Amino acid sequence: MKKMRLLCLLALLLLRTATARASAAVQGSQAGNRSSLPSLASCQKSCGNLSFEYPFGIGAGCFRPPQRDFELICNNADGASQHPRLFLHDGHTEVVGDIITSDKDGLPEIDVSFSRSVSVSPEVDAYNMSWNPWKSPCYYHVSLNFTGCDFDMYMLDPDTNKMVGGCNTTCPHEDITDSVARQDCNGTGCCTTQVYSEFARGFDIKFVRHKIGKLKLKAHSNRSSIWDTIDVTSNYASIPWAIAVDEPGPLGNSKDYACLSNHSSSQLAYQYHYTDTPQYHCYCDGGYRGNPYITDGCSRDKGYDPIQRKTNCSRWCGEISVPFPFGLEDGCSARMSFQLNCTNSSLSALLFLDEFDDTAGYSRNYVQYINISGGLVNVKYNLYEAERLSVRVFQDPGLYVASGGVVLQQWAVANLTCHEAQQNKTGYACVSINSICLGVNSEQEYVGYRCKCLAGFDGNPYITDGCKDVDECPRNTMYDTTIKMCVSTKEQNLVLGEFYGTTNSMQ
Ligand SMILES: *[C@@H]1O[C@H](CO)[C@@H](O)[C@H](O)[C@H]1NC(C)=O
Ligand SMILES: *[C@@H]1O[C@H](CO)[C@@H](O)[C@H](O)[C@H]1NC(C)=O
Ligand SMILES: *[C@@H]1O[C@H](CO)[C@@H](O)[C@H](O)[C@H]1NC(C)=O
Ligand SMILES: *[C@@H]1O[C@H](CO)[C@@H](O)[C@H](O)[C@H]1NC(C)=O
Ligand SMILES: *[C@@H]1O[C@H](CO)[C@@H](O)[C@H](O)[C@H]1NC(C)=O
Ligand SMILES: *[C@@H]1O[C@H](CO)[C@@H](O)[C@H](O)[C@H]1NC(C)=O
Ligand SMILES: *[C@@H]1O[C@H](CO)[C@@H](O)[C@H](O)[C@H]1NC(C)=O
Ligand SMILES: *[C@@H]1O[C@H](CO)[C@@H](O)[C@H](O)[C@H]1NC(C)=O
Ligand SMILES: *[C@@H]1O[C@H](CO)[C@@H](O)[C@H](O)[C@H]1NC(C)=O
Ligand SMILES: *[C@@H]1O[C@H](CO)[C@@H](O)[C@H](O)[C@H]1NC(C)=O
Ligand SMILES: *[C@@H]1O[C@H](CO)[C@@H](O)[C@H](O)[C@H]1NC(C)=O
Ligand SMILES: *[C@@H]1O[C@H](CO)[C@@H](O)[C@H](O)[C@H]1NC(C)=O
């Protein structure tokens, strides 16, 4: 599943590159007049264990009008024992992953699943089914399995009637049930087809019985459901979504312009033919994160929480120490990027959690050592090629920086300047006295800040009283790095308040 998703992502990135030139005029456009949304405060934001955000929503006023593409349905009707299930507005297409509006690493897409069946009778030789989950044309990547007996299946583009996919089934041996046939799905009782459909309005699916099929059907009509039902089940399906351009002219001038947040911009999405309606999506500008589709949705990085929420956190993975701000369990690290997975403590096997895997599932990056004072992690890669890559944790900004092809990665705690970070006392990472804030830069850009104990102190600047005096100053005095001698605590604090700077320190 993950691999498929990434392959799809790659395809879409290529797509984006291909359309980038045509959309140059719109890229980075900034709205002069942004309309405001009605309050979304009372809108549902999750269904079962799935979460979603505006422009998606449940109920009038909670999703982006006028099309119903962004309307979701939460179906609780299956009874209390089952999870509520989330559907697109067609009521058939189930959403199976969180809907994220802030994914900057590709076009946003929804992972869905689809399952329908039609009963067949000996008198009728042809059946139809349509799948139109999205009103605006979009790019589909689907893999469907059909179970049935002696049918040709055709998938057609409803606008052009062109065949985009299809396969055949023959009748299996009488003992074969539909679930057995589906496991192999080799053409006997079940067949599979993959469709990459650009700019489609969904699919029409046609089933035509083989001439010989009718006889067999009569002979086997009391066997497994393969003989009297056609089932269509998605193996994998994703729908990349975008906003349809509603009027000509610069995007930002439209009264229904979707990128409502300050610090957001738009980019034209796929437009294959000049006759097609162009579509776009919104993103938060560099250094901002969040939901560009709502007022004030894009903000500076707020992902760091300096308080360890759980008290009894494990701090070792075998022989590897995992100090705060890193952690192994929920509530034990300061942000998502710093939560690690100790997959085998006897082997000291420590992985990044939910890592955005650039190499499509081929490599796992093992953490071997965490260096708090140097702001480094030592990573062992499985692939040589991967050594150039920075570790990237899905849904968090890029806070790890590969350092020139070696296995060390620098890290920052949040993409904020020291000055910005110090404005928000509840989110500021350098909580120990005698700690200072440093900037971390990659070769290309500013990555964020980290903390360090003052010279003469050592330990963990991310925890209260974590920086310990390593010089021999008496009680109530501290080592002052600027004058290189012990001074009273009071004086020291004055010096600290003014000290912050940037460094690119790599030894
Ligand atoms: C904003 O709206 C005003 C009045 O509706 C209009 O005169 C102005 O040109 C608009 N500005 C932009 C940048 O679209
Ligand atoms: C939601 O719960 C279902 C059933 O418990 C599970 O299969 C699925 O993986 C969960 N999805 C997420 C995103 O957690
Ligand atoms: C299938 O669709 C065609 C038109 O595409 C229509 O003529 C036919 O009646 C439909 N058949 C069924 C069984 O709905
Ligand atoms: C069904 O199989 C036949 C023979 O292998 C082939 O000619 C035909 O194109 C197939 N139909 C579909 C829908 O794949
Ligand atoms: C196809 O799968 C069925 C089980 O559904 C099995 O009986 C049959 O031998 C398989 N055929 C081939 C060619 O693998
Ligand atoms: C299926 O039908 C045959 C005759 O048509 C009958 O002998 C057999 O008992 C039936 N099997 C079941 C499971 O109903
Ligand atoms: C679809 O068929 C493939 C084999 O081609 C099988 O691995 C997969 O489990 C099937 N998926 C579903 C949802 O039945
Ligand atoms: C957007 O930013 C401008 C200037 O940065 C500010 O004046 C305005 O209040 C902001 N709008 C909102 C809705 O926060
Ligand atoms: C961090 O924020 C700056 C703006 O201060 C931005 O230019 C940069 O791209 C951001 N870096 C990352 C890795 O997101
Ligand atoms: C931490 O404490 C909670 C409740 O006090 C307990 O359920 C849990 O097992 C403990 N976890 C560890 C890793 O000791
Ligand atoms: C940790 O890694 C193991 C093995 O890869 C995986 O099965 C497990 O789901 C991971 N745990 C979390 C919380 O991601
Ligand atoms: C301050 O930081 C906390 C924790 O990171 C965050 O929840 C909060 O939104 C931040 N406040 C502001 C005004 O940025």
Q: Per-residue pLDDT tens for 295-326?
A: 989 999 998 999 999 999 999 999 999 999 99
Residue 96 φ then ψ, to 5°: -120, 5
End-to-end CA, the chain: 41
Query: If pLDDT is split at 50, 70 and 90, which confidence band does 226 have?
Result: confident
> Whose atoms come closest to the Cα of 314: which ligand?
10
Q: Which residues line ligand 4 (CB under 6 A)?
A: 152-154, 166-168
Map tokens 């009637």 to a residue: 161
| The pLDDT of residue 382 | 58
CA distance 71 to 56: 6
Assess whether pLDDT exceeds 80 at residue 495.
no
CA distance 502 to 446: 10
| The pLDDT of residue 104 | 59
Q: Is 39 within 8 Å of 85 (Cβ atoms)?
A: no
Lowest mean pLDDT among 92-96, 365-369, 483-487: 483-487
Tell which atom from ligand 3 comes closest to the C-alpha of 127: 13
Q: How much is the average pLDDT of 130-151?
A: 84
Nearest protein CA to atom 6 of ligand 4, as residue:
168
CA distance 399 to 364: 18
Assess whether pLDDT exceeds 70 at residue 480.
no
CA distance 315 to 301: 26
Average pLDDT, whole number, for the chain? 79
Map tokens 């044309």 to a residue: 137
Q: What's the pLDDT tens digit per position in 31-82? A: 444 556 668 889 999 999 999 999 999 998 999 988 788 999 998 766 666 7
> What's the pTM?
0.75
CA distance 53 to 56: 5
Tell which atom from ligand 3 comes closest to the C-alpha of 124: 13
Asked: is 111-212+224-240 a CATH 3.40.1010 domain? The reply is no
Nearest protein CA to atom 10 of ligand 1, as residue:
33
Ligand 8 center to residue 36 CA distance, Å?
12
Nearest protein CA to atom 7 of ligand 7, as residue:
183
- Sequence-distant contacts of 23-28: CB under 8 A, at least 24 apart: 23/267, 23/268, 23/271, 25/250, 26/250, 26/251, 26/266, 26/267, 26/268, 26/280, 27/265, 27/266, 27/267, 27/268, 28/265, 28/267
Mutate to test the pocket of ligand 11, among 341, 342, 348, 356 (most ligand atoms within 8 A of CB): 341
Query: If pLDDT is split at 50, 70 and 90, which confidence band does 27 have?
Result: very low
Nearest protein CA to atom 1 of ligand 8, as residue:
262
Assess whether pLDDT exceeds 80 at residue 478.
no
Q: How far is CA 264 from the centre of its chain?
A: 19
Structure tokens at 383: 């692939």
Closest by CA position to 33, among listed 251, 226, 245, 348: 251
Q: Is 126 in the pocket of ligand 3 (CB under 6 A)?
A: yes
Tell which atom from ligand 8 comes closest to the C-alpha of 295: 13
Ligand 4 center to residue 113 CA distance, Å?
26
Q: Is 162 in the pocket of ligand 12 (CB under 6 A)?
A: no
Tell which atom from ligand 3 comes closest to the C-alpha of 126: 13
Nearest protein CA to atom 4 of ligand 1, as residue:
33
Burial class (CB in 10 A: 0-12, 13-18, 19+), 438: buried
Share of the chain above pLDDT 90, in %: 37
| The pLDDT of residue 499 | 35
| The pLDDT of residue 6 | 32
Burial 38-57 (b: 16+ CB within 10 A, else e): eebeebeeebeebebbbbbb
Q: How far is CA 119 from the centre of its chain?
A: 38
Structure tokens at 295: 């007022």
Lowest mean pLDDT among 214-218, 382-386, 454-458: 382-386
Lowest mean pLDDT among 6-20, 366-380, 485-499: 6-20
Q: Is 444 in the pocket of ligand 10 (CB under 6 A)?
A: no
CA distance 25 to 154: 40
Mutate to test the pocket of ligand 12, among 296, 301, 302 (most ligand atoms within 8 A of CB): 302
Q: Is 424 in the pocket of ligand 12 (CB under 6 A)?
A: yes
Beta strands in 104-187 (DSSP E): 109-119, 126-131, 138-147, 151-156, 163-169
Mutate to test the pocket of ligand 7, among 182, 190, 230, 232 (most ligand atoms within 8 A of CB): 182
Residue 321: HSE in the Cβ half-sphere, 13 Å Cα cutoff: 6
Ligand 3 center to residue 188 CA distance, Å?
26
Q: How far is CA 49 from the centre of its chain?
A: 15
Assess whether pLDDT exceeds 70 at residue 355.
no
CA distance 133 to 204: 12
More confident residue, 10 or 229: 229
Query: If pLDDT is split at 50, 70 and 90, which confidence band does 201 have?
Result: confident
Ligand 11 center to residue 352 CA distance, Å?
10
Query: If pLDDT is split at 50, 70 and 90, which confidence band does 443 have?
Result: confident
349-352: strand order across its sheet? 340-344, 349-352, 366-371, 376-380, 408-411, 400-402
Mutate to test the pocket of ligand 5, among 145, 170, 188 (most ligand atoms within 8 A of CB): 188
Assess whether pLDDT exceeds 60 at residue 376.
yes
Q: Is 356 in the pocket of ligand 9 (CB under 6 A)?
A: no
Q: How much is the average pLDDT of 431-460?
A: 93
Q: What is the largest CA-CA distance in the chain?
A: 99
Query: If pLDDT is split at 50, 70 and 90, which confidence band does 221 have?
Result: low
